[in-house]
């Protein structure tokens, strides 16, 4: 079945540690996105990528890093520089050729990160 | 600046009642897209509808219907004859075409609780 997978579902991290969240899609989508969701709030964009080996910062990129070495994969690293990393992280993808993507984004099941 | 406002934090209804979720948006763009997503307790966002700014025709899909009023910058969502499975958080989102890329602006979400 086509879809987006995120792992792990739950992740616990000690302060000062970097952690990497996985996101894989087999939808053959060009564009991929990372969002952060805090309780009672909407989603905020961290990073996005429209093509392999290219990505742009979203609205809250500080303390995060990404890579896009393969079309189907867009891992997110939460670094120790992120001051309040406890949140729910959602990965998404969409069809895009070039320029703005007007198509709906499809979301993965999310990873809940807790800093101990 | 652009933003999406979902003024209702939580709506509780009894099964079979209708429920309307409000969404008001702000943008200076003449061309833009509006979306509704559903987030069940599992956490994954499910795409419901996309509407572009030039199409003000209301849409009905089963028990779901959407009312787009450009004059009042609103894109409201109604669930008719609600069911327990409709319990979820619903997000309205805005995408502007003048943005350099497909950055969705999400509202804070409305929690819908349907009780038997």
**Under an 8 A CB cutoff, do B102 and A45 touch?**
no
> Is B46 an 8 Å CB contact of chain A?
yes
Provide the 10 A C-beta neighbour count for residue B64.
16
Helix (H, G, I), strand (E, B) or coil at A103: coil
Q: Tell me how far apart the alpha carbons of residues A63 and A82 are, in angstroms, rounded to a whole number.
A: 4
**Under an 8 A CB cutoff, do B102 and A108 touch?**
no
Closest residue in B to A100 (Cα) is: B101
As a residue count, chain B comes to: 116
Of the candidates B33, B44, B106, which has its C-beta nearest A109's C-beta?
B44
Structure tokens at B23: 């969404």
pLDDT in tens, B14-49: 999 999 999 999 998 888 889 999 999 989 999 999
Mean pLDDT of chain A: 90
- What pLDDT score was predicted for residue B40? 94
pLDDT in tens, A65-97: 999 999 999 999 999 888 899 999 999 998 875
A92 Cβ neighbours under 8 A, 6+ residues apart: A4, A32, A33, A34, A35, A105, A106, A107, A108, B45
The model's confidence at residue B2, banded by pLDDT at 50, 70 and 90, is low
Provide the 10 A C-beta neighbour count for residue B16.
11
Q: Tell me how far apart the alpha carbons of residues A75 and A98 are, in angstroms, rounded to a whole number.
A: 22
């Amino acid at each position: 079945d086509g879809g987006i997978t995120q792992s792990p579902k739950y992740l616990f991290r000690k302060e000062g540690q970097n952690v990497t969240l996985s996101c894989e899609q087999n939808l053959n989508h060009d564009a991929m996105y990372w969002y952060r969701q805090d309780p009672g709030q909407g989603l905020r964009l961290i990073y996005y990528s429209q093509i392999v080996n290219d990505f742009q910062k979203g609205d809250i990129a500080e303390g995060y890093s990404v890579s896009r070495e393969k079309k189907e994969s867009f891992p997110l690293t939460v670094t120790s520089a992120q001051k309040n990393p406890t949140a729910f992280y959602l990965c998404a993808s969409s069809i895009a050729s070039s320029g703005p993507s007007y198509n709906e984004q499809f979301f993965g099941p999310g990873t809940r990160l807790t800093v101990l | 600046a652009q933003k999406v406002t979902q003024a209702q934090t939580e709506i509780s209804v009894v099964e079979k009642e209708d429920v309307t979720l409000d969404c008001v948006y702000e943008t200076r763009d003449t061309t833009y897209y509006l979306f509704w997503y559903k987030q069940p307790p599992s956490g994954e966002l499910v795409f419901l509808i996309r509407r572009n700014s030039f199409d003000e025709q209301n849409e009905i899909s089963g028990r779901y219907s959407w009312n787009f009023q450009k004059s009042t910058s609103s894109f409201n969502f109604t669930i008719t004859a609600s069911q327990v499975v409709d319990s979820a958080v619903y997000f309205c989102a805005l995408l502007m075409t003048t943005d350099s890329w497909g950055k969705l602006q999400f509202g804070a979400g409305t929690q819908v609780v349907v009780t038997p």
